[in-house]
Chains A and B, each alone.
Chain A
Amino acid sequence: MTRFERSSLLLMLPSALVVAIFGLYPVLESVRLSFYRSILTLPWLGTKRVGWENYADLWNDPVAAQSLQVTLVFLVATIPAELVVGLGLALAMNRSFRGRGWLRAAVLVPWAIPTVVCSQMWRFIFNDRYGLLNFLLFGADVRSYWVPLAEPGPALAAVAVAEIWKTAPFAALILLAGLQTIPDELYEAAAIDGATAWQKFRHITLPMLKPAFLLALLFRTIDGLRVFDLVFVMTQGGPADATNVLSFYGYKKTFAEGSIGYGSAVAVIVFALAMLLALGYLGALRRARGGAR
């Protein structure tokens, strides 16, 4: 081992330790707990190893199945919108014009607000009596006021809107970084060949952005799969379980009902899903990077 390698390892040690303590340990502990049956409020039943029983129960649990469906609908509804809005913001931020600094700062605001605060804000916006939404839609016509959070479909849509607002700036940041790696020469050459703005966008910007898109997709999918705070503040999973995403279901099982093993099994499934998707994206990302070179 050279001196350089040794000092590099030493330098990585602190971060590796932090990852091990705060990342690896909780995951392994959740996996371990998911093989036990332990109900906090029934301590006399003890903590018993039950093998795959929690997973078998989970497989047959219609509430979990519905919860998975809600989570997937939520992902499909939010991620494309986040990427499209993010791309628009990134393109705007990438141009040079007066006030660009202000725009960049403003775009980051939603992302910088703590999620709980932002959830509370959207809960107010969607409130039927004093919410901004009803005021914008109907003005002073109180009779027409609508209560989106009281209806299953609209409640999920409301949570999705809050998520898009909150995270599109993040997608924008990654896409902006991607935009800035595209060499100007490509656009100049295209201009000489007489390409229109649309052709430049379609044949240069989009293909060159593919790795950045995949990266944004990766981060957003993992985050979207784990969405919790918005649901916790805005709807508590209701009405009719329409916003009962997997993470919230696992939380209820663990902390409200005290079923530590079962709740851990839900958490492990969320983790496994995120892991699988992440590996898929990383593979695609590697191919895209290879292709771009």
Chain B
Amino acid sequence: MKDHQAIPLGAAPLLFLLVSVPAGGGEARAASVLHFVGWKSEAPRVWDEAIAEFERRNGVRVVREVGPSSSTQFHDLLAQKLKNRDRSLDVFLMDVIWPAEFASAGWALPLDRFFDRAAQDEFLEAPLEAGRYGGRIYGVPLFIDAGVLYYRADLLAKYRLEPPRTWTHLVEQARTIVARERDASLAGYSGQFKQYEGLVCNMMEFIFANGGALWDQARLRSAVDGPRAVEAVRFVRDRIIHGIAHRGVLAYEEPESLTLFVQGRAVFHRNWPYAWAVANDLSQSRIAGRVGMIPLPGFTPGSGAGALGGWHLAISRFSRNPDLAWRFVAFMTGEEIQRRIALSTGRAMTRKALYRDGELLRRMPQLESLREVFEGAIPRPATPVYAPLSSILQRYFSAVLARPEIDLRRRADFAGREMNRVLDLLRREPER
């Protein structure tokens, strides 16, 4: 008797399995639901309102999934979903460095049939270009970013200093101010040097300013082991990290480095344009109204440039409802929503017309100078092997910055060889 009772109990896990497998939603319902994967916005209310409005106008429901705010971690989440051809993903945020990868992997839907030349012309050229790969367009620019330099206007004025135009100049000014302020909790510089994608942006800015490059996209050869690049890395290691920077920067991403600055504990700060609004917000910042923003310095005046960053909206190739997905993308990147997001988050818009909008310019005077920064911003080269190249660079930069005893020259050569091996993959012919 006992045996007979126990059998159904033992089979319970199996039953559970069988029951839970075919639980996918019906096709009919899927048409009215749109899945959107993004990260947590600085102004979630504006997003909520915009999405609610889209739902109302179109009679659909938008299901949102919030991913990690670190670009590197967000990438891995998306890559897993897309690799598995996840049907519960229609629209997603795409970093400007991913289109080549997502296009060649067949993950992102080419948008040319929705997004024609005339519509494209309404956007700034740099971010639009970043969304193109192999002659097609894969993303609609939502925000544009470029590295800029923030400084304590009050401290510079106190010591009668002009905002720096070269990095050497910046280091001298930081030293002077920190020494004379006699405030041991004040650091000269704050940026993002943790082992992640932001490290590549920060280092690339120094390397470009010194006339170097990360790799040569035409020749498919590494350039990070070239003399100009190595010289720039040495400058960052000796003069910035082990010179004027706060000692925590090797563990900092954007939020931590910005916190340091808005608490009044750094003279100079490298970040993206959104930091302007935070630094001038009395409820978040101790230095509101005492902040300046300029293009990044160079090694000679005018040689500096910010890394091009920003986010696109893209559609999954596995979306069951690309037309609805496109309507959502068009709505969210439309003029009205861009204006609202810009006003509430300080993130910069991608539509040209908005840079001539009187009201926006009055409320965000920094836009005027930002447009120039954006036009001169340096993109990270578009390639389907961006992720492995970035891993190698992150490893190299983090190693030489965190371990100053390492032989920089040899470590650069090693990184160069590793990058060349990855770039060689692009020379291979298709194999059958």
Report how far A21 CA is from B391 CA in the complex, Å.
33
Q: Taking the complex as formed, is B104 at the interface, i.e. its CB lies under 8 A from any CB of chain A?
A: yes
Residue-wise, chain B 392-432 has the 8 Å CB interface mask toward A (1 for contact) of 00110011011100000000001000000000011010111
Report how far A152 CA is from B194 CA in the complex, Å.
12
Interface with B: A179-187, A207-215, A233-241, A267-275, which one? A233-241
Residue of A nearest to B241 (CB): A150
Given the known interface contacts A40-B79, A236-B194, the answer about A256 and B387 at a Cβ–Cβ threshold of 8 Å is: yes
User: B402 and A17: CB pair below 8 A?
Assistant: no
Q: Taking the complex as formed, is B91 at the interface, i.e. its CB lies under 8 A from any CB of chain A?
A: no
Q: Taking the complex as formed, is B226 at the interface, i.e. its CB lies under 8 A from any CB of chain A?
A: no
Other 13 A-B pairs with CB < 8 A, given A7-B7, A240-B401: A10-B7, A11-B10, A13-B10, A14-B12, A45-B428, A143-B184, A147-B251, A150-B402, A239-B194, A239-B250, A240-B402, A257-B391, A258-B83
Residue of B nearest to A241 (CB): B395
User: B391 and A10: CB pair below 8 A?
Assistant: no
How far apart are A214's CB and chain B's nearest CB, in angstroms?
A: 30
Report how far A149 CA is from B194 CA in the complex, Å.
9
Residue of A nearest to B105 (CB): A41
Residue of B nearest to A47 (CB): B431
Q: Which residues of B contact A152 (CB under 8 A)?
A: 402-403
User: A14 and B13: CB pair below 8 A?
Assistant: yes
Q: Which residues of A contact B11 (CB under 8 A)?
A: 14
Given the known interface contacts A43-B106, A150-B247, A256-B75, the answer about A129 and B256 at a Cβ–Cβ threshold of 8 Å is: yes
User: A240 and B403: CB pair below 8 A?
Assistant: yes
Report how far A257 CA is from B398 CA in the complex, Å.
18
User: A63 and B395: CB pair below 8 A?
Assistant: yes
Report how far A259 CA is from B387 CA in the complex, Å.
10
Q: Which residues of B contact A286 (CB under 8 A)?
A: none
Enumerate chain A interface residues (CB-CB to B < 8 A): 3, 7, 10-11, 13-15, 17-18, 21, 39-46, 48, 62-63, 127-129, 142-143, 147, 149-152, 155, 235-242, 251-252, 255-259
Residue of B nearest to A18 (CB): B13
Report how far A41 CA is from B106 CA in the complex, Å.
8
Report how far A17 CA is from B17 CA in the complex, Å.
11
Report how far A15 CA is from B12 CA in the complex, Å.
10
Q: Taking the complex as formed, is B388 at the interface, i.e. its CB lies under 8 A from any CB of chain A?
A: yes
Q: Which residues of B contact A40 (CB under 8 A)?
A: 79, 83, 105
Residue of A nearest to B194 (CB): A238
Given the known interface contacts A10-B10, A44-B430, A256-B72, the answer about A238 and B195 at a Cβ–Cβ threshold of 8 Å is: yes
Q: Taking the complex as formed, is B92 at the interface, i.e. its CB lies under 8 A from any CB of chain A?
A: no
Q: Which residues of B contact A151 (CB under 8 A)?
A: 250, 402
Interface of B (DSSP majority class): helix
Report how far A7 CA is from B426 CA in the complex, Å.
59
Q: Which residues of B contact A42 (CB under 8 A)?
A: 104, 384-385, 425-426
Residue-wise, chain B 13-57 has the 8 Å CB interface mask toward A (1 for contact) of 110010000000000000000000000000000000000000000
Q: Taking the complex as formed, is B119 at the interface, i.e. its CB lies under 8 A from any CB of chain A?
A: no
Q: Taking the complex as formed, is B80 at the interface, i.e. its CB lies under 8 A from any CB of chain A?
A: yes
User: A241 and B195: CB pair below 8 A?
Assistant: yes
Give the bracket for the number of chain B residues in contact with chain A.
35 or more
Report how far A243 CA is from B418 CA in the complex, Å.
21
User: A258 and B13: CB pair below 8 A?
Assistant: no
Residue of B nearest to A130 (CB): B259
Report how far A203 CA is from B112 CA in the complex, Å.
79
Q: Which residues of A contact B80 (CB under 8 A)?
A: 255
Q: Which residues of A contact B3 (CB under 8 A)?
A: 3, 7
User: A239 and B395: CB pair below 8 A?
Assistant: no
Contact partner, B248, options A10, A41, A150, A238, Cβ 8 Å: A150
Q: Taking the complex as formed, is B196 at the interface, i.e. its CB lies under 8 A from any CB of chain A?
A: yes
Residue-wise, chain B 50-80 has the 8 Å CB interface mask toward A (1 for contact) of 0000000000000000000010110110011
Q: Taking the complex as formed, is B185 at the interface, i.e. its CB lies under 8 A from any CB of chain A?
A: yes
With a 10 A CB-CB cut-off, give which of A11, A155, A238 has the most chain B CB atoms.
Answer: A238
Report how far A44 CA is from B394 CA in the complex, Å.
27
Report how far A238 CA is from B431 CA in the complex, Å.
36
Q: Which residues of A contact B401 (CB under 8 A)?
A: 239-240
Report how far A62 CA is from B80 CA in the complex, Å.
27
Residue of A nearest to B431 (CB): A46
Residue of B nearest to A126 (CB): B251
User: B398 and A41: CB pair below 8 A?
Assistant: no
In the A-B complex, the 3 residue pairs with the closest CB atoms = A238-B195, A150-B250, A150-B251
Report how far A129 CA is from B385 CA in the complex, Å.
37
Given the known interface contacts A14-B13, A39-B425, A256-B75, the answer about A129 and B259 at a Cβ–Cβ threshold of 8 Å is: yes
Q: Which residues of A contact B388 (CB under 8 A)?
A: 257, 259
Q: Which residues of A contact B402 (CB under 8 A)?
A: 150-152, 238-240, 242
Residue of A nearest to B422 (CB): A257
Report how far A90 CA is from B76 CA in the complex, Å.
40
Report how far A45 CA is from B251 CA in the complex, Å.
37
Contact partner, A240, options B14, B247, B252, B398, Cβ 8 Å: B398
Residue of B nearest to A129 (CB): B259
Q: Taking the complex as formed, is B260 at the interface, i.e. its CB lies under 8 A from any CB of chain A?
A: yes
Q: Which residues of A contact B395 (CB under 8 A)?
A: 63, 241
Report how far A141 CA is from B75 CA in the complex, Å.
39
User: B101 and A255: CB pair below 8 A?
Assistant: no
Contact partner, A258, options B105, B184, B196, Cβ 8 Å: B105
User: B425 and A45: CB pair below 8 A?
Assistant: yes
Given the known interface contacts A15-B13, A129-B256, A150-B251, the answer about A41 and B385 at a Cβ–Cβ threshold of 8 Å is: yes
Q: Taking the complex as formed, is B330 at the interface, i.e. its CB lies under 8 A from any CB of chain A?
A: no
